[in-house]
Amino acid sequence: MVRRKIAFRKKRQNRLGMLLVMTVLTMLLVVVAVKSFELREKKESYAAREQELLEQIEAEEARTEEIEEYRKYTQTKKYVEEVAKDKLGLVYEGEIVFKEE
């Protein structure tokens, strides 16, 4: 009879131990699943941000090219003539300027 009680207690302790282990494993699984989901969302947001930044880089590179072309244009004789005519009102000798009234 004593052996039965001892065996029953061991089985009961084993079941309780297994239940506790399963509970801990389940909790760990839930935590890992939640964190995995959060990391996936974070990864997607970083990918979207990266795409936005790449588009901004392309836009800035295009703008840089335009500025470089404008810089080269401002160093030409044609640009100097246009500024002299439009802003300063200068003309070549013998050139006739017609103005509206």
Both tokens of residue 57? Answer: 């880089």
**Residue 84: other Cβ atoms inside 10 A:** 13
Average pLDDT of the chain is 89
Residue with structure tokens 């207690």?
9
pTM (2 decimals)?
0.55
pLDDT of residue 6: 64
Reported as a single tens digit per residue, the pLDDT across 6-30 is: 666 666 778 888 999 999 999 999 9
For the chain, the domains span: 2-86
pLDDT, average across residues 55-60: 98
